[in-house]
C-alpha cells in the first residue's frame, strides 16, 4: 500500500530537523521509507521536490548547501526554525482562540489552526471555551469567491496575474493584467487593489466579477507597490459614501427611515411631509427612486431630473 503523504512529509521534516550536517538526496532517500519505495529515480525526484515545497509552505526553512565534492545537501537549522520565545496570558490566549476560528476559507482556516497549535506547543495557556462563558459573538470572514486563494498567494509572493474581469455594466469579460497588491473584505465582499498594466493605473477589482481562472505570470512587478493601499475608500466611493454635495428632499412622515438617519437637517412641513437635507453622492438617484411617491426631490435640479428620468422608465415599463 502506498504510504500516506502526511507520513512521508513528517519523516522528511524530522530528518531535516534532526540533522546537524546537510543530508544528500541519496541519504534522504535511504532514510525515508516512502522514498525507498519510489518506482524510479524520476519518481523519487519529483516526489522529493514537491515535498520540500510543501514543508516550506508550512513554514520550514530548508537550506540547500553544496559540499566540497559539489554534492548538494539539505538541512533545516534549528536557529532558523525555532519559534522565538512568546508568553501569552489566559486572556490573550482566549482572544487568539476566537480569532483563529473566524476564517471560512479552508486554506486560511487550516493555517490559523496550525498557528494556534504551534503556539500551543510553545506553551499557550489552555482555556475553557474561549469567550463562551460571557459572549455569544461569532465573527466570520466569508470567502465565497473562487479567485480568492490564487490572488492571496499572488499578493503574498508578489506575482503578476491575468484574469478575465467583467465590469459591473459590461456583458462580456475582458482579460486584465494586474500586479496584485492587497485584498480587502468589506461588507462581506472581497476586493483586490493593484496595478492594472493595461490601463497603466491603480485599480480596484471586485472578486465576484472575476470569471474563470486566475493565472500567474512569471514576471516581475513593473510599478512600485505603495506603502499604504486603500481599497476601502475606493469601494466606499463606488457605493456613494463619499458625498461632496447635499440635496434637499421632501419625505413623507414615517417613511424612509434610512434617509432620515443620514439627514443633516429635518424640518416639519405639515400635511404629513418633512423636508430633509441629505448628503448627495454617487448613486443617490437610484436610492431615492426606491421610496417611490414618499420622496420628492427639491434640489439640485440635476438630481431631480435624474430621478424623474428613472421614474419615467419604470412607469413605461
- 130-169: contacts with other proteins (CB under 8 A): 131, 134-142, 152, 155-156, 166, 168-169
Q: How many residues bind other proteins (CB under 8 A)?
A: 132
Q: How far is the CB of 278 from other proteins (least distance, A)?
A: 15
Q: By CB under 8 A, is residue 49 in contact with other proteins?
A: no
Nearer to other proteins, 19 or 45 (CB): 19
Window 94 to 133, contacts with other proteins (CB under 8 A):
94-96, 98-104, 106-123, 126, 131
Window 1 to 30, contacts with other proteins (CB under 8 A):
3-7, 9-11, 13-15, 17-19, 30
Q: How far is the CB of 74 from other proteins (least distance, A)?
A: 14
Q: Determine the Cα–Cα distance for residues 317 and 314; give it in Å rounded to an integer.
A: 5
∠185-167-225 over CA atoms, to 5°? 55
Window 58 to 87, contacts with other proteins (CB under 8 A):
58-61, 78, 80-87
What is the DSSP-derived secondary structure letter of residue 208? G
Q: By CB under 8 A, is residue 57 in contact with other proteins?
A: yes
Virtual torsion, Cα 224, 230, 233, 235, nearest 10 deg: 80
CA 239 to each of CA 15, 186, 234, 297, 316: distance values in angstroms, whole numbers, following the listed order:
55, 11, 9, 20, 27
Q: In whole angstroms, how large is the CA radius of gyration of the chain?
A: 29
Q: Determine the Cα–Cα distance for residues 40 and 176; give it in Å rounded to an integer.
A: 42
Window 170 to 229, contacts with other proteins (CB under 8 A):
170-172, 181-189, 208-209
Q: By CB under 8 A, is residue 253 in contact with other proteins?
A: no
Nearer to other proteins, 177 or 262 (CB): 262
Nearer to other proteins, 38 or 102 (CB): 102
266 phi and psi, to 5 degrees? Answer: -130, 130
In order, the DSSP letters of 268-307 are: EEETTEEEEEEEE-TTHHHHHHTTGGGEEEEE-HHHHHHH
Q: How far is the CB of 125 from other proteins (least distance, A)?
A: 10
The answer to whether the CB of 40 falls within 8 A of the CB of 85 is no
Of the candidates 65, 162, 223, 255, which one interacts with other proteins according to CB under 8 A?
255
Q: By CB under 8 A, is residue 272 in contact with other proteins?
A: no
Amino acid at each position: 500500500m502506498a504510504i500516506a503523504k502526511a507520513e512521508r512529509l513528517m519523516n522528511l521534516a524530522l530528518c531535516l530537523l534532526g540533522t546537524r550536517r546537510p543530508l544528500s538526496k541519496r541519504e534522504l532517500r535511504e532514510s525515508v521509507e516512502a522514498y525507498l519505495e519510489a518506482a524510479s529515480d524520476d519518481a523519487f525526484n519529483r516526489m522529493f521536490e514537491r515535498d520540500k515545497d510543501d514543508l516550506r509552505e508550512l513554514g520550514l526553512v530548508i537550506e540547500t548547501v553544496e559540499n566540497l565534492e559539489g554534492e548538494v545537501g539539505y538541512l533545516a537549522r534549528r536557529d532558523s526554525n525555532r519559534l522565538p520565545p512568546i508568553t501569552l496570558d489566559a486572556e490573550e490566549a482566549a482572544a487568539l482562540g476566537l480569532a483563529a476560528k473566524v476564517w471560512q476559507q479552508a486554506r486560511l482556516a487550516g493555517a490559523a489552526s496550525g498557528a494556534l497549535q504551534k503556539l500551543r506547543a510553545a506553551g499557550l495557556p489552555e482555556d475553557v471555551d474561549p469567550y463562551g462563558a460571557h459572549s455569544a459573538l461569532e465573527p466570520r470572514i466569508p470567502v465565497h469567491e473562487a479567485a480568492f486563494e490564487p490572488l492571496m498567494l499572488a499578493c503574498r509572493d508578489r506575482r503578476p496575474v491575468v484574469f478575465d474581469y467583467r465590469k459591473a455594466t459590461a456583458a462580456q469579460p475582458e482579460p486584465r493584467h494586474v500586479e496584485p497588491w492587497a485584498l480587502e473584505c468589506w461588507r462581506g465582499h472581497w476586493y483586490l487593489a493593484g496595478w492594472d498594466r493595461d490601463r497603466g493605473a491603480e485599480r480596484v477589482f471586485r472578486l465576484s466579477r472575476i470569471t474563470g481562472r486566475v493565472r500567474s505570470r512569471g514576471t516581475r512587478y513593473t510599478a512600485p507597490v505603495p506603502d499604504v493601499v486603500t481599497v476601502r475608500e475606493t469601494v466606499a466611493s463606488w457605493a456613494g459614501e463619499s458625498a461632496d454635495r447635499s440635496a434637499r428632499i421632501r419625505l413623507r412622515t414615517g417613511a424612509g427611515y434610512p434617509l432620515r438617519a443620514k439627514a443633516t437637517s429635518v424640518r416639519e412641513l405639515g400635511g404629513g411631509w418633512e423636508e430633509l437635507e441629505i448628503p448627495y453622492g454617487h448613486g443617490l438617484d437610484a436610492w431615492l427612486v426606491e421610496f417611490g411617491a414618499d420622496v420628492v426631490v427639491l434640489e439640485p435640479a440635476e438630481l431631480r431630473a435624474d430621478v424623474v428620468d428613472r421614474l419615467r422608465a419604470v412607469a413605461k415599463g
